[in-house]
Amino acid sequence: MKRILSFIAVFALLFTSCTGPQGPPGFDGFDGINGSNGQDGGLIVASAFEIEVDFNADNNYEFTESYGFEVLPSDVTLVYIEWENDDGEPIWRLLSQTEYFDNGVLVYNYDFTQQDVRFFLDGTIDFNTLDATFTQNQVFRVVVVPADNIDGLDTSNFDLMMDTNAIKSFVIR
């Protein structure tokens, strides 16, 4: 039994102490932002803004806002709605959000391009019958996240998105 244990110990020692030839070199890194020929790229930071929107028949229950900053084709836009307020602390929900009524369904939704983001109401309900609390003074927070930063994040958690991407927001009213 002692021989087997000695053999295993010597084998384990030899196995862990052996080294082989160095492997091939890895691939070169990216050239940085805008093809800066090997220079380090800039700090990638997400941008955000807050906007208050009134939905009505005159604007066809939609509103489009330009970003006011550069958005790259690979960036991802997320929109949160201030769903409720807890003692002055806003509670945010990722769009799309749905409200159910006896006479239909209301959906707050959005779409985006590289130039702007569009907020709109969707659903089966007659929007003209909605109370003003569902159409007026709706506050949205738009977060444009570089695609490199989005992989594996819980985008439904607004506070996590803001903290992870060092986002500072501003308000458009």
Where along the chain do its domains lie? 47-172
Report the CATH fold assignment for 47-172. Immunoglobulin-like (2.60.40)
Using one digit for the tens of pLDDT, what is the confidence trace for 44-100? 667 899 999 999 999 999 999 999 888 988 889 999 999 999 998 999 999 999 999
Structure confidence at residue 173 (pLDDT): 46
Contacts for 110 with CB less than 8 Å, ≥ 6 apart: 77, 79, 95, 96, 117, 118, 119, 120, 140
**Strands of the chain, DSSP E:** 47-53, 62-66, 76-86, 89-94, 97-101, 104-112, 116-123, 138-145, 169-172
Cα separation of 97 and 80, whole Å?
9
Greater confidence (48 vs 16) lies with: 48
Confidence bin at 22 (pLDDT 50/70/90)? confident
Surface-to-core class of residue 119, CB atoms within 10 Å of its CB (0-12 exposed, 13-18 middle, 19+ buried)? buried
- pTM (two decimals): 0.63
